[in-house]
């Protein structure tokens, strides 16, 4: 039986926690692939919505500006800034099961964000991994139509084809490469472009760097 989204999100957070436990203090302060965020900031973001009820969400959106997702996310990161890496790791371990906003859509939010941000950390530290195929397939299928991530405008008119799994999306000039690299490029990470090729790559690169 194929695990559901919530089970996959739980497993992804478990893998992230296991990896974070191996990091040095210097690793936690290193830049991530998320602009202006360190590894520590990314971890704070991943868990920053867990204990917020409806009132807490409304207050955060009011403080960050409801139409400015990046500002709202920064508010959450700032609220966790005083926590040490060990405290953040412990919080994550106590929240492997998504709750609140991240549990939305059956765990979809936690799975997509968790997988992408895990790679934001891994790639920035030069610590690659092979994302479990079942999780990667599900996330790849969820990202193109997610307006919050902006993938649709980046890959419009392009055919994306994974070389390490049976996954394609779209029509047009082809962009090929590992599924993980396609995921990260769709999500706006120029660092993944080096792992991709094909006649549509220049178009994708211009959109990511534009």
Contact (Cβ atoms closer than 8 angstroms) between residue 148 and residue 173: no
Range of the domain at 115: 5-125
Based on the domain organization, do 13 and 115 belong to the same domain? Answer: yes
Contact (Cβ atoms closer than 8 angstroms) between residue 9 and residue 111: yes
Of 94, 125, 156, the residue that ends a domain is 125
Question: Inter-axis angle of helices 5-20 and 133-142, to 10 degrees?
Answer: 120
Write down the pLDDT at residue 73.
87
Based on the domain organization, do 10 and 70 belong to the same domain? Answer: yes
137 assigned to some structural domain? no
Does position 67 have pLDDT exceeding 70, yes or no?
A: no
Write down the pLDDT at residue 54.
61
Does position 68 have pLDDT exceeding 70, yes or no?
A: no
166-206, pLDDT tens digit by residue?
Answer: 999 999 999 999 999 999 999 999 999 999 999 999 999 99
Looking at the structure of the chain, the number of domains it has is: 2
Does position 88 have pLDDT exceeding 80, yes or no?
A: yes
Return all residues near 77 (Cβ < 8 A) that are at least 6 apart. Answer: 37, 41, 44, 45, 48
Spatial CA neighbour of 161 closest among 186, 194, 124? 186
Write down the pLDDT at residue 1.
40
Based on the domain organization, do 27 and 108 belong to the same domain? Answer: yes
Based on the domain organization, do 174 and 118 belong to the same domain? Answer: no
Based on the domain organization, do 91 and 59 belong to the same domain? Answer: yes
Based on the domain organization, do 64 and 106 belong to the same domain? Answer: yes
8-23, pLDDT tens digit by residue?
Answer: 999 999 999 999 999 9
Mean pLDDT in residue range 113-128: 98
131 assigned to some structural domain? no
Based on the domain organization, do 81 and 119 belong to the same domain? Answer: yes
108 assigned to some structural domain? yes
Does position 3 have pLDDT exceeding 90, yes or no?
A: no
Which pairing describes strands 168-170 and 174-177: parallel, antiparallel, or unpaired?
Answer: unpaired
Based on the domain organization, do 113 and 177 belong to the same domain? Answer: no
Spatial CA neighbour of 112 closest among 74, 80, 69, 141? 141
Based on the domain organization, do 33 and 119 belong to the same domain? Answer: yes
pTM value is: 0.92
Does position 65 have pLDDT exceeding 70, yes or no?
A: no
Q: What is the dihedral of CA 69, 71, 74, 76, to 10 degrees?
A: -70
């Amino acid at each position: 039986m194929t695990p559901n989204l919530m089970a996959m999100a739980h497993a992804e957070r478990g893998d992230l926690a296991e990896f974070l436990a191996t990091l040095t203090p210097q690793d936690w302060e290193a830049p991530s692939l998320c602009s202006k965020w360190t590894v520590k900031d990314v971890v704070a973001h991943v868990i920053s919505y867990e204990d917020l009820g409806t009132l807490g969400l409304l207050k955060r959106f009011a403080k960050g500006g409801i139409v400015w997702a990046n500002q709202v996310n920064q508010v959450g990161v700032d609220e966790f800034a005083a926590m040490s890496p060990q405290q953040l790791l412990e919080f994550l371990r106590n929240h492997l099961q998504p709750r609140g906003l991240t549990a939305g859509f059956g765990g979809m939010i936690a799975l997509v964000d968790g997988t992408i941000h895990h790679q934001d950390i891994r790639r920035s530290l030069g610590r690659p991994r092979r994302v479990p195929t079942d999780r990667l397939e599900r996330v790849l299928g969820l990202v193109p139509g997610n307006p919050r991530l902006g993938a649709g405008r980046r890959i419009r008119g392009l055919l994306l084809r994974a070389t390490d799994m049976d996954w394609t999306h779209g029509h047009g000039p082809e962009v090929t490469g590992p599924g993980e690299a396609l995921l990260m490029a769709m999500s706006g990470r120029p660092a993944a472009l080096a792992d991709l090729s094909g006649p549509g790559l220049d178009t994708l690169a211009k959109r990511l760097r534009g």
